[in-house]
């Protein structure tokens, strides 16, 4: 990571994260898009490219770095390359308050993940919040009860060990939901199965609210641009 000058653009711990969703455009400039990825990588950031399925987007770029100005520069470069930015999500890496007791190594993997995980190219992203309604309010539950529910959540999640990596990034106060959920899996049906399985955990069944789901395959920028027809 390079040194950072503006504290207002630098999380005191962890990394800034931006998920950018683009539609390919007839006049987009392939070389300029590839140069934007290179510049981001050279600056020490991670920018993961994903070839998306369906109408919601053609290309997703998930970028992580400790200087939000650099993330902004990547966004600018991709827009100037002629891609149309059609959706986005802003968040930051964090260690969940329910994981405060885990070993430092696990905390570091949450705060400073190295992405993408090898062999896990099936990808999805969606934002989620915990309910704050009269029929269920996560935030009025005592901490011990929330911790117990998250323990149940973690236990069902660990059944997918080896098949799937979750990256939860926090967005309370900076985007419309409370977290961004990014999943990297071996197979597309792992994505479906983990989300379905967790629906039965009380923390999700009673308290979770979801935004739009996005799905695609992680690949190198070159492969991704080939796949979306930006030649």
Residues contributing to the site for ligand 76R (CB under 6 A) = 96-99, 110, 128, 150, 153-154, 157-158, 160-161, 164, 166, 168, 179, 181, 183, 194-195, 198, 204, 208
Q: Packing angle between helix 30-42 and helix 221-228, nearest 10 degrees?
A: 160
Residue 186 CB, nearest approach to ligand 76R (Å): 12
**Is 17 in contact with 68 (CB distance < 8 Å)?**
no
**Closer residue to ligand 76R, CB minimum distance, 46 or 166:** 166
* Catalytic residue chosen out of the listed positions 126, 177, 207, 214: 126
Q: Which two tokens stand for residue 165?
A: 């990596």
Residue 166 CB, nearest approach to ligand 76R (Å): 4
Q: What residues contact 196, with CB distance under 8 A and at least 6 apart?
A: none
Phi and psi (nearest 5°) for 67?
-130, 110
* Alpha helices (H) in the chain, listed in sequence order: 30-42, 68-80, 104-111, 143-158, 188-199, 202-205, 221-228
Q: Which two tokens stand for residue 212?
A: 């739009």
Q: What is the 3-state secondary structure (H, E, C) of 119-136?
A: CCCEEEEEEEEECEECCE
Residue 144 has a CB neighbour count (10 Å cut-off) of 8
**Closer residue to ligand 76R, CB minimum distance, 150 or 217:** 150
Q: What residues contact 75, with CB distance under 8 A and at least 6 apart?
A: 18, 20, 85
**Closer residue to ligand 76R, CB minimum distance, 42 or 161:** 161
Active site (annotated) includes residue 177: no
Residue whose beta carbon is closest to ligand 76R: 157
**Closer residue to ligand 76R, CB minimum distance, 75 or 166:** 166
Residue 4 CB, nearest approach to ligand 76R (Å): 26
**Closer residue to ligand 76R, CB minimum distance, 79 or 150:** 150
Residue 58 CB, nearest approach to ligand 76R (Å): 25
Residue 16 CB, nearest approach to ligand 76R (Å): 18
Which of 13, 64, 59, 53 is closest to 221 using CA atoms? 59
Phi and psi (nearest 5°) for 11?
-60, 140
Residues forming the active site: 126
């Amino acid at each position: 990571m390079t040194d950072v000058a503006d504290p207002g653009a630098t999380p005191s711990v962890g990394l800034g994260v931006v998920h950018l969703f683009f539609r390919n455009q007839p006049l987009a400039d392939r070389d300029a898009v590839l140069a934007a990825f290179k510049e981001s990588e050279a600056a020490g950031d991670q920018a993961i490219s994903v070839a998306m399925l369906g109408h919601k987007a053609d290309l997703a770029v998930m970028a992580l770095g400790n200087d939000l100005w650099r993330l902004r520069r990547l966004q600018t470069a991709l827009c100037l390359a002629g891609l149309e930015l059609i959706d986005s999500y802003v968040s930051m890496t964090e260690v969940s308050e329910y994981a405060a007791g885990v070993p430092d190594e696990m905390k570091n993997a949450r705060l400073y993940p190295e992405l993408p995980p090898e062999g896990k190219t099936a990808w999805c992203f969606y934002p989620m919040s915990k309910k704050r309604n009269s029929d269920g309010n996560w935030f009025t539950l005592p901490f011990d009860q929330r911790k117990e529910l998250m323990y149940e959540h973690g236990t069902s999640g660990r059944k997918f060990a080896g098949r799937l990596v979750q990256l939860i990034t926090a967005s309370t106060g900076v985007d419309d939901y409370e977290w961004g959920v990014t999943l990297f899996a071996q197979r597309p049906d792992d994505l479906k199965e983990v989300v379905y399985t967790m629906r039965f955990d009380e923390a999700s069944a009673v308290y979770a609210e979801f935004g739009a789901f996005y799905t695609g395959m992680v690949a190198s920028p070159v492969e991704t641009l080939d796949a979306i027809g930006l030649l």
